[in-house]
Structure 1
């Protein structure tokens, strides 16, 4: 029987990202995927600067960026065309070192993720393999699966298993967790078309049409691809809604059959669910297996990539035996306690925005969707911190930006998977850091001071996922933070095999 450090079930963007990151940390990884190839039609169409930063770690961000298009923001309009809510997105590079938002074609991302896996000898990918049994014991997990290409039952052994196997997750069934329901369950017709010629009047903004008869959404995708998501009423038949003549009837306010080709039409039920338990023993969940969100914030795939970024370095520490038993359990438990509240907040905001669309943008709906806004028709991007976990102090659990070094390189390219102190030069002077902990100071970074100023602190200690473990304003506080956060600094570093 083959033995691995981590087995990942599912080879979508979340599973592939996690496999890359674990492989870079020197772990032996098995990926099991039921399908023979990546899905060839559009699915997710948006990701943000935080996700692009993770793609930078993997090494595919520079190849992915030219395949995306600018996303200037989202607008909510009423039946009379009046702007109800404006959600602009900054056009330039943001604190993460990348633009704040991107529109993309998911098959492009999956292709790059899979092509880059060729350079990961630590990762074994097996497609057309259908997992059916997971047996956990004190030292690991035995997986049984059918290799459908040969009709043969196979076994594998891993220290940990991560279910990235979607909304119908088999791993979630073995964990036996329930789902927290936030009350949004609606059928929507999703239509992807390819324009035959440019149609600039459609615009580059995403538009939420808060129309009583038929709430709908328009989304620009790279090239000539465009998407519409249209509410399906309770009395309408899903099979009838995807007939081409019906689809073109639904699209008639925007585009005619002679102007575009249908690429896909499907009816989906959008849910708002979060798994109660994201971990049981050696079994974990990530991506759609543990959270499902309405699409109104474009955060479904983003949440899965955030899961992978939070979990990979914790599994690396556990698999390398870097920590004692109790500390290992504390670190692994923090995955759920940190990620679940963050995912929940995104989902609850998406539910509120869905309510705004379905109630046609009334003033009361605006107040409910954006508490404290006073009905002001403008929204800023949210960036909720992590839930309670490994951090120390009020600044813990917040995503920190990515300074440039004096060489012009981005911080993460120079210090991938490492703990990093970012500090004012005065605080950093004479600081004795443990082996494996990098230092970026205002003396060797032209914009570190700007990043620190956003947090209003003199120094931060960053985890490998670039969230803060804590902050400091004096040399004594900084020394104490490092000592407290890294009691065994040699064992807290992650061996890297890029």
Structure 2
């Protein structure tokens, strides 16, 4: 991976990625490990070293597993025990504690992390991919699609020198104010949740077990608030701005410590970052225009009440990467890229709608309404359960099984199922069905005989003799009898255009 200022204007890159946050870095890794020529353009000169995102889930961990970074990343993580909702008097309304056992994805359902550490791990991993070039302190300012490529005009922000870059496809992972989205002419669907909150990241001088490891939603109409334990001695508080609050003065140290007085005092730690955010809820209408695509915050923004903002961007990268590889290598037609938005947009909308609904409940400031809310929450603790949506219509057979992320069972030897799959499709077949259909793997497909107890049980639970797993670990299709297996493989893997 190159970081110098040299710029080869004659190279036709397979994919140019604008933006090197977690979404862009994940996409670069997934493309680079399959040999695509990738150019990453990032206007900043270094990682932003202060906290931002602090949570990801087991599905994201599975994507990191596919990138080969779990071993490096895991020591920097904290397994989250769950969340509690409390009322103004401190009474617990909902205790949403998570099991300490591994979840269906083969990982814990929730992890806390420090974003600069994650980005460091992602960027270090990119050094292993010789076909990935990174240009820091470079900013794209012009995007010109052609029939067979996209021409980018880029400024070296250190020298002011202007250069040209070319790529078959361009993906904007460039945030809420995405340049790529603007050039695509894509508009945003506003889901009408735009509340201002003060986010305070504190680095404690010592451990404070009394603060607890659970996240806590303080459903207090006087000032709705959230507490989140981070990794190490990092803690975060989020406090809703109320009428009369001045967003300028409220971030001053004396104001911050006054707001935090019920939990910590100035002698307990230092404020790493005070910031006022407006929590937006929007989804782009149009994630692809010919050779231009968007991902992450460029495509959607969510309030933080479910901790799914960065998770959604990682899911985008995992969904899009294998499709770009298949199209660039000529394995599948370009129309495959249309399934990126059709699959991801309904999925992310369900998470955002749930976060908006949850935020609307937490942000209640009327005392009478809050008392009614507290009673409902106590009576129905499942009301804020994390959704598990299937993908929208796209490159899968649909129904009750296909289009859903597959579980990752542990094998009899203790290994995780995904290990050894690489970036290929996987066909999991019951032993009797495998002998009957005599299917064989090839460059794009690995065949796994269901010998392990957990895998056998998986097929039995689904009522099938075989299932086809996509490179992003979603189920493409299932076969209920051996005679259907070869046709399933032919349609999905060999032809790439499911009937």
Aligned to 2:4: none
Look up the match of 2:212.
203
2 CA distance for matches of 1:363 and 1:485? 53
Question: 1:374: Cα distance to partner?
Answer: 6.7
Q: Shift of the alpha carbon at 1:275?
A: 0.5
Contact map agreement 1:84 1:377 (CA 8 A) in 2: no
CA contact (8 A) 2:465 2:482 kept: no
- Which of 336, 342, 345 aligns to 2:347? It is 342
Matched, 1:441 2:449: yes
Deviations for 1:282-329, whole angstroms, at most 9, x for unmatched residues? 000000001100001000000000000000010001111223xxx321
Among 462, 465, 468, the residue aligned to 2:472: 465
Compared CA separation, residues 363 and 307, structure 1 to 2 (3 A): farther
SS at match of 2:183: helix
Does the C-alpha gap of structure 1 residues 365 and 449 become closer, same or farther in structure 2, counting only changes over 3 Å?
farther
Kept in 2: contact 1:131–1:145 (CA 8 A): yes
1:187 aligns with 2:192: no
Q: Which residue of 2 aligns with 1:481?
A: 488
**SS at structure 2 position matched to 1:84:** strand
Query: Aligned-pair distance for 1:456?
Result: 4.7
Within-5 A mapping of 1:246-285 = 246-285=255-294
Aligned residues: 483
* 2:421 aligns with one of 373, 395, 415: 415
Partner of 1:402: 408
Kindly provide the CA deviation profile for residues 408-435 of structure 1, in whole angstroms up to 9, marking residues without a partner as x.
4433221111111123323333331352
Task: Quote the Cα distance in structure 2 between the aligned partners of 1:374 and 1:289.
Answer: 38
Answering whether residue 365 of structure 2 is matched by residue 357 of structure 1, we say no
Query: Which residue number in structure 1 is paired with residue 315 of structure 2?
Result: 306
Conserved? CA contact 2:464–2:481, under 8 Å: no
Q: Is the 8 A contact 1:68 1:104 kept in 2?
A: yes
CA 1:84–1:320: 2 relative to 1, 3 Å: same
For 1:71 and 1:105, how far apart are their aligned partners in 2? 13
Q: 1:135 to 1:367 in 2, by over 3 A?
A: farther
Superposed CA deviations along residues 419-476 of structure 1, whole A, max 9, x for unmatched, are 1112332333333135232122322x34212433554544311111010111122112
In structure 1, how many angstroms separate the alpha carbons of the residues matched to 2:295 and 2:34? Answer: 19
Q: Does 1:172 align with 2:181?
A: yes
SS of equivalent residue, structure 1 residue 166: coil
Between stretches 86-95 and 452-461, larger displacement belongs to 452-461
Aligned to 2:69: 60
> Normalising by the residue count of structure 1, what TM-score does the alignment of the two structures yield?
0.92
| 8 Å contact from structure 1 (residues 472, 478) kept in 2 | yes
Q: Name the CA distance, whole Å, in 1 between partners of 2:67 and 2:382.
A: 38
- What is the TM-score with the length of structure 2 in the denominator? 0.92
Between stretches 454-463 and 99-108, larger displacement belongs to 454-463
Which segments of 5 or more consecutive residues in structure 1 lack a partner in the other structure? 493-498
- SS of residue in 1 equivalent to 2:210: helix
Are 2:47 and 1:38 equivalent residues in the alignment? yes
Paired residues of 2:216 and 2:228 also in contact (CA < 8 A): yes
Residue 98 of structure 1 aligns to a residue whose secondary structure is coil
**Equivalent position to 1:317, from 314, 326, 329:** 326
Deviation (angstroms), 1:487: 4.0
Change (3 A) 1:296 1:456: farther
Q: Contact 2:430 / 2:456 at 8 angstroms: preserved in 1?
A: yes
4+ residue runs over 6 A deviation = none
2 CA distance for matches of 1:364 and 1:278? 40
1:80 maps to 89
> Which of residues 94, 106, 129 in structure 1 aligns to 2:138?
129
Name the structure 2 match of 1:451.
Answer: 458
Matches of 1:256 and 1:474, distance apart in 2: 65
